[in-house]
Structure 1
Amino acid sequence: MSYESIKLTIDRKIAVVTINRPESLNALNAQVFNDLENVFDSLAFDKNVNCVIVTGSGEKSFVAGADIKEFSAYSSEKAKELSERGHSVFQKIEDLNKPVIAAINGFALGGGLELALSCHIRYASENAKLGLPEVTLGLIPGYGGTQRLPKLVGKGLANEMIFSAKMITAEKAKSIGLVNEVFSLEELLAKTQELAEQIVKNSPLGITKAIKAVNASDKDNGMETEIDSFGELFSGEDFKEGVSAFLEKRKPAFS
């Protein structure tokens, strides 16, 4: 399948999804949402993919927010539909049955940061700038930012970022737990690939269940989800292979 606004490559069980609108600093528009939805729907069932990397084209921007020109004249009802659309697509990413790593290679502002927040892991380049500037437009983050950011950094820091609309550096983002690691721009994708390669060596079914359990950690059924998932894995082929490999002192070959 071809996509208008993104590029997709797959190699050694790792998919790289690149937002490809460099002329607009990879800003989100309706086409990007459509392409993201389609590609993640496809990746969920692709047996050749066990991990996904999301990044932006060029050296300046991961995703520099939403395409304001596209929605500047929207009515309130149309704006709600836009927010619902963003929530729906980003929830697909968060709920994907495979790990998704954001390689933040520059500006991650507004909807761009919200896209990164929906990924399971975030690596950033040293030149990255992150922020939620929506209040400067008389808005609030509308694609999950007010919900996901406090879970990562706490309400106080989330409030500070949202209320002030200030951008923070990659190192600051790492210090508050917003990104996992920071690398030079030249190293970023290679280091992200290294992490993905480590991930795909492990049990795909175990990771799928881990994603489900971690995503339930702030819900009432979090403990129950972990217990059920732990028990269910005992009847799976991955568990049998993992135990056999351990006892036989060899590397597991997960199906």
Structure 2
Amino acid sequence: MPIDVAVEKGICTIVINRPERLNALDAEHYHALAEAWCRVRDDAEIRVAVVTGAGDRSFTAGADIKSVLTDPPGYDEMWLTQRDQRLDHGIEVWKPIIAAINGYCLGGGMTLMLATDIRIASENATFSFAEVKRGLIGVTSHAYRQLPHAIAMEMFLTGDSIDARSAAHWGLVNKVVPQSQLMEAAIDYARHISLNAPLAVQAAKELALRSRDADLATALRMEQMFNRVLMATEDGKEGPAAFAEKRAPQFRGK
């Protein structure tokens, strides 16, 4: 399979499995990855997802230049906006997604990473928007929101790479660890999150992302409405009850 998907104890692990091509994505991989995101979105047993690349050289080098960039889809496909939706283009997945970035994170790899919620990088990870060196542009709108202006523009306009420590300094990643500890660190984050109330976690993510484009009054009103809904759920009652009874809560996502 071009994309390996496994689920264990509420954690879905997604592996881009094409190490011989630095996990570059062709049409088959994009399709399989879209199916994986749909599964994460729709499977109630999944609480958190971790995405990574096979091997230790590359998270993903982005779109496969030899296929995707030299044989682009027809103009008619530009309006098939609901087909093979990607994490950074259209599909709404409110469950937390953690990126375990091993090695190269280039072009479309940056696009994917920027659409995740928590990012762990190996010490050998490198990051770049190299599209300008190929006559194209990268995902500037997502990146510009997550980087200081001068740093974003330097990366966009030069196409040059930054290392893992620089990425952490500028807030692109949460943590840098040795390659041997990468998946362990990512899974630890996933386990920690999976212990929380699933509906509250998803609500927190949706509220955070939607409120970026809302005025403060609207964002605060959304927060009130989300909390009112959560208070009526089974988990919303279980949390306070467990606290009062001094026991670990048993959240069911209901």
Q: 1:218 is paired with a residue of what secondary structure?
A: helix
CA–CA distance in structure 2, aligned partners of residues 222 and 94 of structure 1: 22
Q: CA deviation at 1:93?
A: 8.4
**1:174 is matched by which residue type in structure 2?**
A
The correspondence for 1:187, drawn from 170, 181, 185, is 181
Give the Å deviation of 1:35: 0.6
Distance in 2 between the 1:235 and 1:62 partners? 41
Aligned mate of 1:111, from 108, 111, 135: 108
- Amino acid aligned to 1:228: M
The equivalent of 1:151 in structure 2 is 145
Moved more, 43-52 or 182-191: 43-52
Question: How does 1:131-170 map onto structure 2 within 5 Å?
Answer: 131-141=128-138, 145-170=139-164
Q: 1:54: which partner in 2?
A: 51
Q: Which moved more, 1:183-192 or 1:227-236?
A: 227-236
Name the structure 2 match of 1:202.
196
Distance 1:187 1:86 in 2: 36
Aligned to 1:37: 34
Query: Could you tell me which amino acid in structure 2 is paired with residue 57 of structure 1?
Result: A
Q: Does 1:25 align with 2:17?
A: no
- Partner AA of 1:33 in structure 2: Y
Cα distance in 2 for partners of 1:81, 1:74 equals 14
Gaps of 5+ in 2: none
Q: Secondary structure at the match of 2:229?
A: helix
Root mean square deviation of aligned Cα: 2.3
Aligned to 1:213: 207
Matched length = 249
Q: Note if 1:173 corresponds to 2:167.
A: yes
Match of residue 65 from structure 1: 62
Q: Which moved more, 1:50-59 or 1:150-159?
A: 150-159
**Change in CA separation of 1:92 and 1:78 when aligned onto 2, cut-off 3 Å:** closer
- Partner SS for 2:99: strand
**Is the Cα–Cα contact under 8 Å of residues 40 and 92 in structure 1 kept in the other structure?**
no
CA–CA distance in structure 2, aligned partners of residues 245 and 75 of structure 1? 55
| Distance verdict in 2 for CA 1:83–1:101, change over 3 Å | farther
Q: Distance in 2 between matches of 1:140 and 1:85?
A: 22
Identity over the aligned pairs, expressed in percent?
A: 35
Superposed displacement of residue 198, structure 1: 0.5
Structure 2 length-normalised TM: 0.91
Q: Alpha carbons of 1:183 and 1:88: their partners in 2 closer, same or farther (altered >3 Å)?
A: same
Preserved CA contact (<8 Å) 2:123 2:176: yes
The offset of 1:86, in angstroms, is 9.9
Distance in 2 (alpha carbons) for counterparts of 1:75 and 1:39: 23
The residue that corresponds to 2:225 in the other structure is: 228
CA distance in 2, matches of 1:79, 1:172: 41
Is 1:121 the counterpart of 2:118 in the alignment?
yes
Match for 1:130: what amino acid?
A: F
Query: Does the 8 A contact of 2:85 with 2:91 survive in 1?
Result: no
